[in-house]
Amino acid sequence: MALRKEIRLGVPDIEQSFNDCGYLLQACKERLNSGGEVGIVALDFTRSRSASEISARYFSLLVKMIERELVAGIGGVYRAARGEYFLLLVPDIALYDADAFQKDQETIRRGLARQLAQQRHGKAALGFQLGGVFLTRRHEENEDNALFRALQELFTASSSPPARDQAERREIEEIIAGGLITPLFQPIVSLGDGAILGYEALSRMTRPGLLHNSEALFTKAVQYGLTAPLEMLCRRKAIIRARELELTGRLFLNVCPSLLLASDHQRGATAAFLDEMGLNRSDITFELTERTLIEDYELFRQVLSYYRGQGYSIAIDDLGSGYAGLKMLSELEPEYVKLSSYLIRGIDRSETKQAMVDALVTLCGRIGARVIAEGIESAQELGYLKKAGVGLGQGYFLARPSADP
């Protein structure tokens, strides 16, 4: 069986190889025989009580979403048993080495954790373990021996959770238990007169360790099922500090939509805490990430209706960086829309970005949503945004995040 010329296989091909170990082994052997490299990634969901939920179709869709972010292409997926999967990474570039494979592994880890959390309708995220081996054929070693060596390394490595995974989980648990989060606030300002509308609450680790920044912290929290307590800690810390600083205007709090949908989510907890701190709910905006996949919009609209009834307003974050944004915009009709920094970066020099922002500004105006441009970093970008009719903005050019703004 010849290895297919198309390295980046689509969903049907992934599903076809799902139960065909022979395809995966033959692809590996042919790649090695031709002097190329391959990476094999092992995923283990067996410790999750919901591993049976992962069907061939579901898993292949997850893989397709992640594949676009990888350096190598995915040459096949094999399900060895319920909850155990192997991915074959076939690089289509000459300069692909162990470091590039390591980066692809981390991309798969982050992307899979994100997509699983986003598609679970508010249930606890599926936990998983990930291991991998980068394979090149050694001198005087045939492809069969090389493949056997790779599988031996994989099974040895996956026999117990990696020590780093355990250490990362402990670190997140210690951060939550010790409240080791420092809130930061970045102003959102009027591009017309410079008046401050309010502040977005961000979070910084008080004591960075294995997880060196907040993005890594939240990515790993999703993987280990710790998003809810971490987000609540950040929210409470931000509210307390905003009260201490006597910040005026609106407070934007980042919220994971899947947590709002969770059956065990305690509605009213944030409202009670705001009342305790003497802050008005009408001054709070829940900022939803644009990357989050929402499958049941009818249910989510009901949830948002409840929170709007409590006095909160809604913002969509990062519009323009993913594939679900326009649907979120039309279905949720938010009070605020934050344009992705990707669209803003260099907008003064890109006619394509200008056309996209112009269209989004017009669309938001039609539904009554106020537009906030994120990531403004130059006077030139600011100048174009003013001309385009964008009313609000935030970014380093205007003001950096600060613990004491």
DSSP notation for 166-195 = HHHHHHHHHHHHHT-EEEEEEEEEETTT--
pLDDT digits (tens, 9 = 90+) for 368-397: 999 999 999 999 999 999 999 999 999 999
Phi, psi of 320 (to 5 degrees): 110, -5
End position of a domain, from candidates 141, 161, 181: 161
Residue 213's pLDDT is 82
177 with 157, same domain: the answer is: no
Q: What is the CATH number of the domain that holds 176?
A: 3.20.20.450
End position of a domain, from candidates 161, 182, 202: 161
What is the average pLDDT value for the chain, to the nearest integer?
A: 80
Residue 142's pLDDT is 67
Alpha helices in 333-378 (DSSP H): 341-344, 351-367
pLDDT digits (tens, 9 = 90+) for 187-207: 999 999 999 999 999 999 887
90 with 64, same domain: the answer is: yes
Residue 88's pLDDT is 74
Residue 55 lies in a domain: yes
Residue 150's pLDDT is 64
Residue 47 lies in a domain: yes
- Quickly state the pLDDT bin for 155 (edges 50, 70, 90): low
- Quickly state the pLDDT bin for 28 (edges 50, 70, 90): confident
Residue 3 lies in a domain: no
Cβ pair 154, 68 in contact under 8 A: no
The secondary structure of 230-247 as a DSSP string is HHHHHHHHHHHHHHHHT-
Q: Where are the beta strands (DSSP E) in 256-379?
A: 284-289, 313-319, 336-339, 370-373
349 with 254, same domain: the answer is: yes
Phi, psi of 358 (to 5 degrees): -60, -45
End position of a domain, from candidates 109, 137, 161: 161
Residue 122's pLDDT is 43
pLDDT at 159 over 50: no
Residue 403 lies in a domain: no
Residue 96's pLDDT is 74
Residue 8's pLDDT is 37
153 with 214, same domain: the answer is: no
120 with 192, same domain: the answer is: no
Q: In 10 A of CB 106, how many CB atoms?
A: 14
Query: Total domain count for the chain?
Result: 2
Give 43 or 184, the one with higher predicted confidence. Answer: 184
For residue 71, the enclosing domain spans: 11-161
The lowest-confidence range among 49-53, 166-170, 228-232, 376-380 is 49-53
74 with 41, same domain: the answer is: yes
- Quickly state the pLDDT bin for 257 (edges 50, 70, 90): confident
Residue 76's pLDDT is 72
62 with 188, same domain: the answer is: no
pLDDT at 94 over 90: no
pLDDT digits (tens, 9 = 90+) for 301-314: 999 999 999 999 99
pLDDT at 400 over 80: yes
pLDDT at 323 over 60: no
Over residues 321-344, mean pLDDT: 84
Residues constituting the chain: 405
